[in-house]
Amino acid sequence: MGLVKKGNKLWFFEDLYRDVTYGFEVSRVVVPETDTGFQKLMILESDRFGRVLVLDGIVQLTEEDEGIYHEWIAHWPLFALPKPAEHVLIIGGGDGGVAREVLRHKYIKKVTMAEIDKVVVDLCREHMPSISAGIFDDPRFDLIIGDGAEVIRAMKGKCDAVMIDSTDPIGPAKSLFNTSFYESVKDALKEDGITIHQTGALILQPFEAPGSWRQIERTFDDVRVVQFANVSYHGGPFSLTAGSKGKRVFRDADRNAKKNYKKAGIKTSWYSPEITAYPYPEFQKRLELDKYGEEIVMDIELPGRKRPTLNQVKKWSRDTCKAIKMLAYGEPIVSNPELGEGDTLVQYIETSAINYRRFGDKACANIFTCASLPVAEATDFSLDYFGAGSAVCWHLPRGSFAELKDVRKNTAIYKAALKTTEAHGIDIVSQKYRPKLVESAVVFAPDFRLPMERSLSSAFELIMDIYDCDYSRISNCDTVARWASVEFPKASGLAALGEPDAPDFGHAKKKTAGPSVIQLLERGSNISHFSMNWLMIVVNIVSREAYPVRKVIENAMRYFRGKTAVCWIVPRGLKTHNIADIADNTLIFSVEQK
Ligand code: AG3
C-alpha cells in the first residue's frame, strides 16, 4: 500500500505481508521513493516516530525506537564474548545504527561495515544523522561498499563478531540467508567468535528464524535465539539468531555478559544482561526437540496364503490414520485396481503419506508423518489388522538435520510381534539393530549389488533426506512434478505409470508447508515431500527393478540443488528371517554435492 491519502492526511502502510499491515500518519515525506539500483528507498517523518527509513515498502528503523534493535544486535554478542572484541564486521547496516553501538565498546580496534547500497548510507547520513552519530569520523570505522557475501570471504579468521543487519530474505539480502553464506561467516570468525543475524518476526514470519536456526545449527558449534519486541517491526516478538564458533561460548554467555557489562560501564536503554540468561528458552527448546518427521517401515508377515484385497487395504489406510491420529487427505491412489503383487496404494495424510504394497506373503507398509508418530500404535494396529504374527520394522528419524552417525544411532531395525497375552500391544522380539554405515563410494561402485540382486528380498527401497535445497525448486508443484515424472525416470531408467500427482495440501500447515508428489512406476513407486520451511526434501522410492542408485541420487541433488543427503537402502519384501542379516543389508550413507 505504501503512502495513502486518508482525508487530508497522508498515511504510510507497510507492504511486508499480504494479509496484515500496520500504518502511521506521515507529517512529511523527507525523501520520496527513490530507486537505488538495489531497492526502493523512502524516508518519512511522523510526529510519533520521528524519521522513518523504509526499504521496498518495509520499515527498517524509526528514530523513536531504533535503539531497541540496535542495542540488542550489537551488545548481546559483544557482552557475551569471553574476551573483549577487537574487530567486528557488520554486513548491511547502512544506516550506521549497529556500528554506532559497537563503537561504544572501548576495546574495539576496528569495525568494518560491508553495505551493498551506497545510497542507503548517503541518504541516512544526510537525513537521519542521529543514527550514525559521527561514526564516519571515527578512525576505527571502515566502510566497504560491496556485497557482504563476497567481502566476508577476504576476512578469514579476522573477526570476533559478525553482525548481519540485513533486510528480509526477499530482495538484495536473499543471499545472506543460505548455508554457504553462513559457512563463510564461520570462516571469518576467530575461535570463540559470535555471529548474529536478524531473522524476522517469530509469529508473522514463522519460517525465518527456524530456517536460519537450522542452517546456523549445522554450520556453527552452537546456536541461540535472542528475542525482543519493538514498535517498528510489526508483529510482536522479533528474533535475532546467533551462532558461535566454539562450544562453550553460549554456555558462558550469561555470566560473561553480567561481568563485561559492569566493567564496560556503557549505559544502555534497552539491552540488559539481566534478561540474556535464557533468551527465549521455550522457542529454543522446541526447535531442538523438533524433527521434521518420523517413519515406520514394516515388512509384515501375512498368515497362510492371505492376499489382502483392494478394499481391505483401503480400510487399512483409513483405520491407520485413526490409529496414528492423522486426517486422511483425499482418496487413496492405486497403481492397479487389482492390487496384485507389488502394486502400490498411497494415502496422503495431513502431513505426508502412508503406503502399501505386497510381495509374496509380505505386506510392505510405510507410515510416515511429518510430525511425531505413535510407532507402537501404528505397528500394533497393522499387525492386528492383517492378522499377522510379526513384522520386521525399520524405525527411521526423517529430516533430523543430525550428523550421519546420529541418524544411524536413531535408526532401529527389529522384529515386532503382537502380544499373545492381551488383546493389544506389541513386543519387540529381537535385538535392536542399526543399519550398516558405509561410504557412498561402496554403493556407487560398479560391482555393488542391491538386496534383491542377492536374493535377500523381492524389492528395495531408496530413502533420501536431501538438505539445503533451492527454495524456488522445492516450493513449486510443477517443478517437483517434473522431477518425479521426467527427470527421475530418465535417471533411473524406470518406467513411470500414469501422471504424477503433486498437490500442495501441506501448504496450509506451517511445519509441512510445501508440495508432495506421488509418481507411480510400472514396478514400484516414488513418493516425496518437499519442505519450504526446512529447505529439505524426503523421498521414498520402492522398486522391484534395479537401477543406478548413484545416478538417481545425484540427479535429485542436482535438480533440487541440495547440498547434502542422508540415504538408506532397505531390502523390501524380505525373503530371509535373519534379522542380523537384514540389518547388515540395510545401508546408511551420506552424499555431498560436489
Ligand atoms: N534491518 C532489519 C529490518 C527488518 C525488518 N523486517 C521485518 N519487520 N520483518 C534493519 C536495519 C536497521 N539498521
Q: Is the CB of 443 under 6 A from ligand 1?
A: no
Residue 270: what residue type?
A: W
The per-residue pLDDT for 97 is 98
Q: Over 90: is that where the pLDDT of 7 sits?
A: yes
Q: What residue's CA is closest to ligand 1, atom 11? A: 60
Strand partners, 45: 28, 51
96 CA to centre of ligand 1 in angstroms: 13
Q: Catalytic pick from 56, 165, 168, 380?
A: 165
> How crowded is the C-beta side of 455, counted as CA atoms within 13 Å?
0
Q: Is the CB of 168 under 6 A from ligand 1?
A: yes
Q: Rounded CA gap, 534 and 527, in Å? A: 18
Angle CA 494–497–499, to nearest 5? 120
Q: Is the CB of 198 under 6 A from ligand 1?
A: yes
The per-residue pLDDT for 290 is 64
Angle CA 433–435–441, to nearest 5? 160
Based on the residue annotation, tell me whether 142 is a catalytic residue of this protein: no
pLDDT average, residue stretch 172-193:
88
Sketch the domain layout of the chain as residue ranges: 2-62, 66-287, 293-592
Atom of ligand 1 nearest to the CA of 204: 9
Q: What residue's CA is closest to ligand 1, atom 8? A: 233
Q: Is the CB of 200 under 6 A from ligand 1?
A: yes
The per-residue pLDDT for 306 is 87
Percent of the residues in the chain that have a pLDDT greater than 90, as a whole number? 80
441 burial (CB, 10 Å; 0-12 / 13-18 / 19+) is exposed
pLDDT tens-digit map of 291-310: 678 999 999 999 988 899 99
Total number of residues shown for the chain? 594
The per-residue pLDDT for 193 is 98
Q: Please, are residues 401 and 218 in contact by the beta-carbon 8 Å criterion?
A: yes
Grid cell, residue 128, equals 537521519
The per-residue pLDDT for 215 is 80
Q: Rounded CA gap, 265 and 105, in Å? A: 9
Residue 507: what residue type?
A: H
In CATH terms, are 2-62 and 293-592 the same topology?
no
| Mean pLDDT rounded to a whole number for the chain | 93
From residue 357, give the alpha-carbon distance in Å to each of 26, 301, 481, 572: 65, 13, 22, 10
537 CA to centre of ligand 1 in angstroms: 30
Q: Is the CB of 501 under 6 A from ligand 1?
A: no
pTM > 0.85: yes or no: no
pLDDT tens-digit map of 392-446: 999 999 988 788 998 999 999 999 999 877 667 889 999 999 999 999 999 999 9
**Is it true that domain 293-592 has CATH number 3.60.90.10?**
yes
Q: Which fold has domain 66-287?
A: Rossmann fold (3.40.50)
Q: Is the CB of 160 under 6 A from ligand 1?
A: no
Q: Please, what's the largest Cα pairwise distance for the chain? A: 87
Grid cell, residue 146, equals 560491496
59 CA to centre of ligand 1 in angstroms: 7
135 CA to centre of ligand 1 in angstroms: 20
pLDDT tens-digit map of 95-150: 999 999 999 999 999 999 999 999 999 999 999 999 999 999 999 999 999 999 99
CATH of segment(s) 2-62: 2.30.140.10
